[in-house]
Chain A
Amino acid sequence: MNDGLKKFLLDFYNWVTGNGARTENEDAMTELPPVLPFTMEPDKIQSRFHEKTLQERRKDWINLHGLSVFSILYRSFSIITCVVIVGLLLITVSELPPFGDENNPANNEVIDRYIKLGGNETGAQNIVAGMILDYRAFDTFGESAVLFTGAVSVLMILSAARRKNDEPKNKLHSGFNDRNFLKRAPPIHELKDDDAILRGVASLSIPAIILMGCVVIINGHLTPGGGFSGGAVLSTALILCANAYGFKKVHEFFNERTYIFSSSSALLIYALSKGYSFFTGANHIESGIPIGTIGNIFSAGLILPLNICVGIIVAGTLYGVYALFSEGEI
């Protein structure tokens, strides 16, 4: 047995039992690092040794990948929703009864009565006008009231903004006022003198448009049309006039006072006259409103004045909404 092997075995024995002489290298490795003095803040230590919780990992993940995943999900869900809705609608359309078939469920006794007795009962040649302004006049009243209420609330909001802007003491809070958006925008209807084409076209077409609107309104119980469509035609004439000749020109004959007066009196006339007719009809009293001969202008009882009332309200309201949003006042 040579010395080398003996030494190796001894070393091995010492290494196994753990009480042999250590080499210098080993001593350096096992030596403990010097303990640092305690200088750090307690919360910093906590944050240093703090392991990331699940919630924080979620937040980090969202910050890193959230947007792309969201956009992918958003697109796929929107495509799925569109396809599902389109499919459902197509299925529904294919299940509908054929167009114009006489056995359709819409052809019930109501239609029968309207067509057979509508002319004699309402006196209207245009059966649609007879329906919406006689049988279903309360619906039309609600529609006109909704239109009028919408325009009046817009008028209230915007005119409140105007009055507030006039007062100098509220200038401090003008930044917080949402109603100032009209004031901040630049004025858009600066009248141009060289707009000859628009003025020429307007001077030719405005009388024709107004005539057309009046014909549609007044012949509402004889021919297709009526208060709503005629009023819309009249309002387009007013809008064209305001664009061609400026809002001041329209203000000469149609301003806020005129609008409020005409619309509210038209609504009042509508409500009172139709309320009277409903009251007498429900109590089986003779209302005394003549129906006249079918086909004449002055026939069909209340339908002609009601058409005129609806026409006034619609014309004023549609023009009023346009003027309010472009100028800030009617």
Chain B
Amino acid sequence: MLIIEWLLLIFLIVCAVAVSITKNLLNAVIIFMSYSLVMSVIWVLLRSPDLAITEAAVGAGVTSVLFFLALRRIGQMQRDNDKNKKISEASKN
């Protein structure tokens, strides 16, 4: 059990550093999501299941969805629709 805890903690630190280092914003959000997930497992190991449920629902779910939304708003992320549109426009020209 102790080994799992140590592995999770190391993964947590690696995730936290990787979020700030990575250049791609989409990757950063996904890494942040995995950070929240690992954090919720750690909450369970620390015997606070209430926090674990909240962390999994809010940290990994709602927050990441809002981040994705913000990324799409500022144009860092696009749907396949937009890509196809751009390709068709380029081919027309």
A-side residues, CB < 8 A to B, are: 126, 128, 185-186, 188, 190, 192, 216, 224-226, 228-229, 232-233, 235-236, 239, 318, 321-322, 325-326
Which of chain B's residues has its CB closest to A234's CB?
A: B57
Would B49 and A224 count as touching, CB distance under 8 A? yes
Contact of B81 among A190, A235, A326 (CB under 8 A): A190
Determine chain A's interface SS by DSSP, over half rule. helix
Report the bound CA distance from A318 to B62 in whole Å.
8
Report the bound CA distance from A239 to B67 in whole Å.
14
* A-chain residues with CB within 8 Å of residue B62 when the two chains form the complex: 232, 235-236, 239, 318, 322
Would A216 and B65 count as touching, CB distance under 8 A? no
Would B53 and A224 count as touching, CB distance under 8 A? yes
* A-chain residues with CB within 8 Å of residue B72 when the two chains form the complex: 188
Report the bound CA distance from A325 to B72 in whole Å.
11
Take A228-B54, A233-B57 as given contacts and tell me if A322 and B49 are in contact as well, using a CB distance cutoff of 8 Å.
Answer: no
B74 to chain A, nearest CB (A): 9
Report the bound CA distance from A186 to B74 in whole Å.
11
Q: Does B13 contact A (CB under 8 A)?
A: no
* A-chain residues with CB within 8 Å of residue B57 when the two chains form the complex: 229, 232-233, 236
* B-chain residues with CB within 8 Å of residue A126 when the two chains form the complex: 50
Take A185-B73, A188-B79, A190-B81 as given contacts and tell me if A225 and B65 are in contact as well, using a CB distance cutoff of 8 Å.
Answer: no
B-side residues, CB < 8 A to A, are: 49-50, 52-54, 57-58, 61-62, 65-66, 69-70, 72-73, 79, 81-82
A166 to chain B, nearest CB (A): 22
A303 to chain B, nearest CB (A): 14
Best-surrounded residue of A188, A226, A325 (most CB of chain B within 10 A): A188
Report the bound CA distance from A318 to B58 in whole Å.
9
Given contact pairs A224-B49, A226-B50, enumerate 19 new A-B contacts (beta carbons under 8 Å). Answer: A126-B50, A128-B50, A192-B81, A224-B52, A225-B53, A229-B54, A232-B61, A235-B62, A236-B57, A236-B61, A236-B65, A239-B62, A321-B66, A322-B62, A322-B66, A325-B66, A325-B69, A325-B70, A325-B73
* A-chain residues with CB within 8 Å of residue B73 when the two chains form the complex: 185, 325
A177 to chain B, nearest CB (A): 17
Report the bound CA distance from A326 to B82 in whole Å.
16
Report the bound CA distance from A4 to B56 in whole Å.
112
Report the bound CA distance from A188 to B55 in whole Å.
28
* A-chain residues with CB within 8 Å of residue B53 when the two chains form the complex: 216, 224-225, 229, 233
B83 to chain A, nearest CB (A): 13
B56 to chain A, nearest CB (A): 8
Report the bound CA distance from A318 to B57 in whole Å.
11
Report the bound CA distance from A233 to B62 in whole Å.
9
Which of chain A's residues has its CB closest to B73's CB?
A: A185
B73 to chain A, nearest CB (A): 6
Best-surrounded residue of A186, A216, A226, A229 (most CB of chain B within 10 A): A229
* A-chain residues with CB within 8 Å of residue B50 when the two chains form the complex: 126, 128, 224-226, 229
